[in-house]
Amino acid sequence: MPPRRFDGRRLRAVRREADMPQRELGREVGVGSHEPVARWESGKSFPPAEKLPALARALRADIDILFPRDGAPDLVDLRCDAGYSQGKAAELVEAVNRFRLGAAERGVRRLDDACLPELAALYGVTAEELQAAQRRSFGEAVPVQEVVGPPCTQLAGTLAELIRGAFPEADPTAEDLAAAVNRKIGAEVLSAAQVDELLGGARAEDIFNDGARTVVFEALALYFDVSPMVFHDGQSVEQRVLEDIRFLAAQHDVTLAARGGEGGVSPAFLAVLNKLLASEEGKQR
C-alpha cells in the first residue's frame, strides 16, 4: 500500500502561510481543539489517513502536493482519499458491511460485484478504478495508465504553492523570484530561466548538477522558511529524514555523529534537538 507521506513540519509551514491558528484548523477537520494538530506538527502523532483530505481542504492546498503519495492507490487509499473511516463507508453503502470491506482491504476476500458501483460513487472514482484498486489490495500488479505531462509535477506544484503563499496579492515573475531568493542567500544561485523550467515541470536533476541542486534547494528552503526536503521527489522517508538531519547539523555547525566508539549521534547534536524540542513545545502551550 502506498500511503500518503505526512510531514508535520510541512503542515505547520502551510498552516502558517494560511495564517490559521492550530485551534481553528482542529475545528475545521473535526478534532475539536489545537492539541491533536500540535501533536501532528511536532511529529508526536499522525492524523488518521481519512483526515488528510479535510486538512488539505481547510488549508486550501492540493492534497497531492501537501501529502504526496508514491504509486497508485489501493482500496484503503481510495477510502481515505474520500475522507471516510472504514465504519462510515460501510454505513453509507448498503450492499457492504464493515467486515466485508475490511476483508477486501486486507486482501482476504473480494467485494461482491453488486456493491462496486455504489462504493465507487461514494469514493468519487469509476468502477474500473475501484476494481484496479482492489486488485492492488490483493497484491496484483496493475498497470497504471501513463499520464502525459511534465516529468516532475510534484516539485513544480510544491514551488507554485509556496509562491502563492508568499505572494498572496501578487503574481511575481520568474525574475522576481530568482532575485528574491538570491538576495536572501547572498549569492547568485538561481536564474529566472531555471525558475521557469522548475515551474514548467522539469526535473531538478536535468537543470542542476548534484552540488548545485543541493545549494538551490537550501536557498529556496531558506527563502520560504521550509525544510529543503519538501523539494525532493522520489526519496524514501528514511532518505528525506537523514538529509534533513544533516542539514540541521550543518545549520547549527555541530557534528552529527559521535566520535570514537560511542556510536549514534553526537552530544552536541542531541543538545540542538533538545533545545529545538523545548522551544517548539513552549510555543504550543
How far from each other are the two terminal CA atoms of the chain, in whole angstroms? 36
Q: What does the pLDDT read at residue 228?
A: 73
Q: How far, rounded to the nearest angstrom, does the alpha carbon of residue 69 sit from its chain's CA centroid?
A: 8
**Which is more confident, 171 or 250?**
171
**Does residue 4 surpass a pLDDT of 70?**
yes
Q: Can you read off the three cell numbers belonging to residue 17?
A: 502561510
6 and 52 Cβ atoms separated by less than 8 Å: yes
More confidently predicted of 109 and 285? 109
Name every residue whose Cβ is closer than 8 Å to that of residue 110 and which is 6 or more positions away in sequence. Answer: 104, 134, 138
Question: At 240, which helix (H) or strand (E)?
Answer: helix 237-251
Say which residue, 280 or 186, is predicted with more confidence: 186
Mean pLDDT value across the chain: 82
Q: Is the pLDDT of residue 153 over 60?
A: no
Grid-cell match 520560504, residue found = 224
Report whether pLDDT(23) > 90.
yes
Burial environment of residue 224 by CB neighbours within 10 A (0 to 12, 13 to 18, 19 or more): buried
Instruction: Check residues 253 and 24 and name the one with the higher pLDDT.
Output: 24
Determine the Cα–Cα distance for residues 276 and 285; give it in Å rounded to an integer: 15
pLDDT in tens, 59-77: 988 888 888 877 788 999 9
Per the model's pLDDT, the better-predicted residue between 239 and 165 turns out to be 165
Angle between helices 98-105 and 127-137 (to 10 degrees): 70
Measured CA angle at 221 (ends 248, 80), to 5 deg: 95
* Local confidence band at 247 (pLDDT 50, 70, 90 cut-offs): low
Q: Which residue has cell 529566472? A: 192
What would the pLDDT profile of 87-143 be if each residue is shown by its tens digit? 999 999 988 899 999 999 999 999 999 899 999 999 999 999 999 999 999 988 877
Q: pTM for the whole thing?
A: 0.54
Q: Is the dihedral of CA 46, 51, 52, 54 positive or negative?
A: negative
- One-letter amino acid identity for 283? K
- Nearest alpha carbon to residue 247 among 231, 260, 236: 231
Q: At 78, is the pLDDT very low, low, confident or very high (cuts 50, 70, 90)? A: very high
**Degrees, nearest 5: CA angle 162-165-171:** 90
Percent of the chain with pLDDT over 70: 84
